[in-house]
Amino acid sequence: MNEKPASAETGVDENKIWNECLTIIKENVPFITFNTWFIPIKPLKLISNTLKIQVPNNFFIEWIDGHYNTLITKTIKQVLGDEGELVYVILDEKENSEDPPKIENINKPVFIEEVPEAKSDFNSNINPRYIFENFVQGEGNQLARAAAYAISDKPGTTSFNPLFIYGGVGLGKTHLIQAIGNRILQKDPNKKVIYLSSDIFTVEFVEAIQTNKVNEFSNFYKNMDVLIIDDIQFLIGKEKTQDLFFHIFNTLHQSGKQIILSSDKPPKDLKGLNERLVSRFQWGLSADMQPPDFETRIAILKNKSKSYGIELSNDIIEFIAHNITSNIREMEGCLIKLLANSSLSAKEINFDLVRKTVKEISSSRTVNISIDYITKVVCEYLTVDENKVREKNRKKEVVLARQIAMYLSKRLTQASLKTIGLHFGGRDHSTVIHAYNSIEKSLSEDIKFKETVDTLRSKIELSAA
């Protein structure tokens, strides 16, 4: 009578397990995220503790892994026990095939090349997605790319030391300088390579002063084989940090260690930066990055859409390349938005959708992740009055909302600490640094808190994409 159905055939178990997972996930992510990224997933098979699920394309894996890895890992373990594991199968490869489908573990998004992890006991901060293989060459980035590639072969031994890459927002500076780090580590995982932005460098330095650890701090960086500092323009006006950086620079340079810097302008235009630093920045090679020409934009769009697993006709690619011209990040944003819109409405990507999306991107250009927008999302989510966050209100929940908004502003915009401070009732940069540090601390200590902040972050990114 009470016979159990044979689960492998009926799919009862995998459906039940996945539904349990969905119930947990639903409570932890924003509605739109849930609909866009989790509803399209189908459970395929449960084999002992491993649940195979089917996703529409690579991009899903990347997105979910990038935003919700912790939540998903935790959820599957909660439902299936400590050994519980989730395995992704991509739709196309599963269909019409007797062969075993291509299976990827959540921790290894398919299109990411495997980069050996640094064996050192510190985090190099390098994003494994930023590699030369997916960096499209064009006239605007040719010199910078060639120099970057040469350095990654022979760090510290070419005359390109420092390598100084400069150019406008969204043109690939961060991608390129991290690609150098990835390639160096790929060739020699024991190399000590570190990437950080000059703002974070400043934050750490201030913290080192407060905790009497300036020597340790400085020795740590003097010990690197490759030091990659992004957005060096944020050192402007920070005399003490510049002094310390000057010494670190000299030590590294003298011992033939590679230094790589990026900036929004060439060294000579960095007004407010100490002359002796400016002159050192000119010792090696300065290479600029220009907006991509039409052909390069086409190549980038083709490359990206392929890696996201979306198929776009040439007409559509050309339409986007004609309309989004000056910023590669916006081109990417457009593809992500197209993908999200089409998955959400289960519609194919047609010209109407493309036209609408391009228009949205052009009109949102100025509000594209602004500090005010971040503040709005954070306050709405935590139900705190936005105005109070901008005043000197010291109520606990207001302070928390303000700190999260400051933290996310630092992470998600190009704004300097000073600018961020100004948006929150004219507070000075040290308050922003304090907020940043205290949120980082809570993030590492409190998993629930981390999920809240992750959720906020993806909410902001999704609507800005």
What amino acid is encoded at 190 in this protein?
Answer: N
What amino acid is encoded at 374 in this protein?
Answer: I
Phi-psi region for residue 170, left (φ > 0), alpha (ψ -120 to 50) or beta?
Answer: left
DSSP state letter for 116 = P
Which residues lie below 8 Å from residue 396, measured CB to CB, with a gap of 6+? Answer: none
413 binds Mg ion (CB under 5 A): no
174 binds Mg ion (CB under 5 A): yes
Q: Closer to ligand ADP at the Cβ: 117 or 133? A: 133
Choose from Mg ion, ligand ADP, none: what does 333 bind? Cβ within 5-8 Å by kind: none
Choose from Mg ion, ligand ADP, none: what does 135 bind? Cβ within 5-8 Å by kind: ligand ADP
Angstrom CA distances, 322 to 137, 200, 308, stand at 18, 36, 21
- How many residues sit in the footprint of ligand ADP (CB under 6 A)? 15
Measure the CA–CA gap between 22 and 38, rounded to whole angstroms: 8
197 binds Mg ion (CB under 5 A): no
Q: Least distance (Å) from Mg ion to the CB of residue 199?
A: 11
Q: Closer to ligand ADP at the Cβ: 174 or 458? A: 174
337 binds ligand ADP (CB under 6 A): no
Are residues 464 and 333 in contact, defined by beta-carbon separation less than 8 angstroms?
Answer: yes
Q: Closer to Mg ion at the Cβ: 55 or 148? A: 148
List 175, 183, 388, 423, residue binding ligand ADP (CB under 6 A) = 175
List 52, 67, 173, 402, residue binding ligand ADP (CB under 6 A) = 173
**Region of 34-42, 166-174, 219-227, 456-464 interacting with Mg ion (CB under 5 A):** 166-174
Measure the CA–CA gap between 182 and 148, rounded to whole angstroms: 11
- How many residues sit in the footprint of Mg ion (CB under 5 A)? 2
Q: Least distance (Å) from Mg ion to the CB of residue 212?
A: 32
161 binds Mg ion (CB under 5 A): no
Measure the CA–CA gap between 26 and 39, rounded to whole angstroms: 10
Q: Least distance (Å) from ligand ADP to the CB of residue 419?
A: 16
Neighbours of 396 (CB within 10 A): 7
DSSP state letter for 36 = I
Which residues lie below 8 Å from residue 234, measured CB to CB, with a gap of 6+? Answer: 197, 198, 199, 202, 416, 417
Q: Least distance (Å) from ligand ADP to the CB of residue 227?
A: 17
Q: Least distance (Å) from ligand ADP to the CB of residue 333?
A: 9
Q: Least distance (Å) from ligand ADP to the CB of residue 95?
A: 29
**Residue number with the smallest Cβ distance to ligand ADP:** 172
The label of the residue with tokens 């909660």 reads: 78
- Note the residue count of the chain: 465
List 21, 46, 227, 328, residue binding ligand ADP (CB under 6 A) = 328
Query: Which of 192, 275, 261 has the alpha carbon at shortest distance from 233?
Result: 261
What is the pattern of x (binds ligand ADP, CB under 6 A) and - over residues 116-145? ------------------xxx----x----
228 binds ligand ADP (CB under 6 A): no
Are residues 312 and 336 in contact, defined by beta-carbon separation less than 8 angstroms?
Answer: no
**Region of 39-47, 164-172, 433-441, 446-454 interacting with ligand ADP (CB under 6 A):** 164-172
Q: Closer to ligand ADP at the Cβ: 137 or 437? A: 137
Q: Closer to ligand ADP at the Cβ: 11 or 168? A: 168
Are residues 281 and 164 in contact, defined by beta-carbon separation less than 8 angstroms?
Answer: yes
Measure the CA–CA gap between 138 and 132, rounded to whole angstroms: 13
Instruction: Provide the total of helices (H) and of strands (E) in the chain, helices listed first.
Output: 21, 9
Strand partners, 195: 228
- Binding positions for Mg ion, 292-351, rule CB under 5 A: none
Q: Closer to Mg ion at the Cβ: 173 or 337? A: 173
455 binds Mg ion (CB under 5 A): no
**Region of 35-43, 92-100, 170-178, 395-403 interacting with Mg ion (CB under 5 A):** 170-178
- Provide the sign of the torsion angle of the four alpha carbons 367, 369, 375, 380, taken in this order: positive
170 binds ligand ADP (CB under 6 A): yes
List 16, 26, 329, 355, residue binding ligand ADP (CB under 6 A) = 329
Are residues 308 and 185 in contact, defined by beta-carbon separation less than 8 angstroms?
Answer: no
Q: Which helix (H) or strand (E) holds 392?
A: none
- Provide the sign of the torsion angle of the four alpha carbons 194, 65, 134, 165, taken in this order: negative
| Alpha helices, H only, 263-312 | 275-281, 294-308
Angstrom CA distances, 129 to 62, 109, 115, 419, 465, stand at 10, 10, 9, 29, 18
List 298, 300, 404, 456, residue binding ligand ADP (CB under 6 A) = 300
**Residue number with the smallest Cβ distance to Mg ion:** 174
369 binds ligand ADP (CB under 6 A): no
Q: Least distance (Å) from ligand ADP to the CB of residue 136?
A: 4
288 binds ligand ADP (CB under 6 A): no
Residues that bind ligand ADP (CB under 6 A): 134-136, 141, 169-175, 300, 328-329, 332
Residues that bind Mg ion (CB under 5 A): 173-174
